[in-house]
Amino acid sequence: MLALAGSYAVIDSHTAGHPTRVILGGLPRLPGRSVREQRDYFRNHHDALRAALLHEPAGHAAMVGLVPARPEAADFGAFFISSYVYLDMCGHAVIGYAKTLAATGSVAPPCAYFTLETPAGIVTVHLAWSQSGALESVRFQNVAAHIGVEDLAVTVDGAGPISVDLAYGGVWYAIVDASAIGLRLDPEKIAPALQLGAAIKAAVTEELRDLPPASGGGAAPSVLFYADISRLRARHLVVLAGNKFDRSPCGTGTSARIALLAHQGRLGDGETYIAENLHGIGFAARMTGGTPEIEGIAHITAFSTLVKEASDPLAGGFLCQ
């Protein structure tokens, strides 16, 4: 007989390779009117659950969790937890949540869209269904994106001066042209990109020490490397930490990049930009009336119950960095 300290119903999915773990049962009730207030209560009172549910041995460094929350002004509510930080917005997880809602019957044809309250604001999620009733694609209208600092020069040991652009797409990103610094975005050679991305992140954070609005109020911007394939297509790699990268093209990162392209006059209103990950799987993105829209699809990988034995010395989770 098992002596359990807790059990948690979850549905796992991946969006272009990056995981979303929707936590449907086992969490304590979270007071607060808005999703942001509920998120803050979770962070202040139950942060140990983030590690227990996302870190090894139940998860890994790149795991992202989504906690459904009571919306104040939308059809659904959710906040996002990751192995290191809390995210105000997470594009790949929004797509994963839409797939999870469809898999559980919470949304179904002919539902064409729903609104989702996140800590960053309300996003509208559009659903495209096949004739058989399967969810074929998800397109979300993100929160407003904007530019922070352009052509910020940072110096990284061994790499010299590097030019970065700071842009916000629900989360702040330091955007770097990989080709300009001789970096190959190759799934077989990920280690050098992680090392360089972590170094750039540290350098940018230091440069922005006196500019909190451009760094997300003190949060270190992740690094989005891009390599243009054509005018409207590029490969993306988002480095989150020295041991963590986004397997998808990154929804909020893509939002930041297309906002920058539009600001530079390189992307017209309504033009479709394809952001692909290291495996060539793409998000379709466009700026419509100044708002980023990202389209992709997720796939379910597991319906399961995570359990924590009372006697398990590693039940709280661990990460090796």
Residues noted as catalytic? 90, 250
**CA 94, CA 253: separation in Å to the nearest integer?**
14
What separation, in Å, do the N-terminal and C-terminal C-alpha atoms of the chain show?
A: 35
How far apart are the C-alpha atoms of 123 and 177, rounded to whole Å? 29
Which two structure tokens, joined as six digits, stand for 6?
């807790």
Token pair belonging to 13: 């999915």
* Residue 129 vs residues 98, 220, 277, 292, 293: alpha-carbon distances, Å: 12, 38, 24, 22, 18
- 272-305 core/surface letters (b: 16 or more CB in 10 A; e: else): ebbbbbbeebbbbbbbeeebbbbbbbbebeeeee
Q: Report yes or no: 296 and 135 within 8 Å, Cβ to Cβ.
A: no
Q: If we measure between CA atoms, which residue out of 321, 275, 298, 268 comes closest to residue 83?
A: 321
Q: How far apart are CA 117 and CA 72, in angstroms?
A: 8
The residue among 194, 244, 191, 205 whose CA lies nearest residue 82 is 244
The answer to whether 304 touches 21, Cβ cutoff 8 Å, is no
Alpha-carbon gap, residue 288 to 279, rounded angstroms: 27
